[in-house]
Amino acid sequence: MTEANAPLTGPEYWFYHLEREGHDLRLHDLLALVVSRQWRARVHGRELARMKALDAALWAARPESFLPHALADGARDDLQPILLSAEDGPAPKDQARRDVFVSLHGADLPQDVAGFQRIILFFEAGNAEALAAARAQFRRARDQGRRTRYFRENETGKWEEQGAKPQAG
């Protein structure tokens, strides 16, 4: 295989389109799967205030399901399985490998995504800015030949995969 037609390496892009309220619980369930796979995640939002609210919500969301996480800029960011950060907040001190990057509220993706196995964009139908950012990122990922999957929440709260199927690398 020549370099020109070699399959792209890098993360898969998964898009989660929320139609209902209660996104903190939906995110908790998704992050619980990440932790169960012994992956490490960085969850990145636009505003520190919203990430602080998410921090509190994740601690209280499912008492029977402990989900270890912390806000970025702590003394031990590198030990956190899930690290929460915000565009208007302090940068994480963490230089450790992360498997998953989760973008919330239309937050920007990192410049270099090569080290991640999965990029997840979690966005609400009622947030026009986040929806536009997710659509642009979806087109960009598809144009680059990345594997993409698109899930939309149905009326009962279950995820249904839409027309985007994984592409061959």
pLDDT score of 8 more than 70:
no
The answer to whether residue 147 sits within a structural domain is yes
DSSP 8-state class, residue 159? E
- State the Rg of the chain over Cα: 16
The answer to whether residue 5 sits within a structural domain is no
Specify whether the CB–CB gap between 94 and 76 falls below 8 A. no
pLDDT confidence of residue 164: 47
The answer to whether residue 17 sits within a structural domain is yes
Distance from C-alpha of 122 to C-alpha of 153, rounded to nearest angstrom: 11
- Number of domains, the chain: 1
Q: List helix spans (H) across 37-158.
A: 48-61, 128-143
Structural domain range at position 63 = 12-161
Distance from C-alpha of 55 to C-alpha of 65, rounded to nearest angstrom: 15
CATH of the domain at 138: 3.40.50.10110
Distance from C-alpha of 58 to C-alpha of 65, rounded to nearest angstrom: 10
The answer to whether residue 3 sits within a structural domain is no
pLDDT digits (tens, 9 = 90+) for 57-106: 888 877 777 788 999 988 888 889 999 999 988 878 766 678 999 999 88
pLDDT digits (tens, 9 = 90+) for 57-69: 888 877 777 788 9
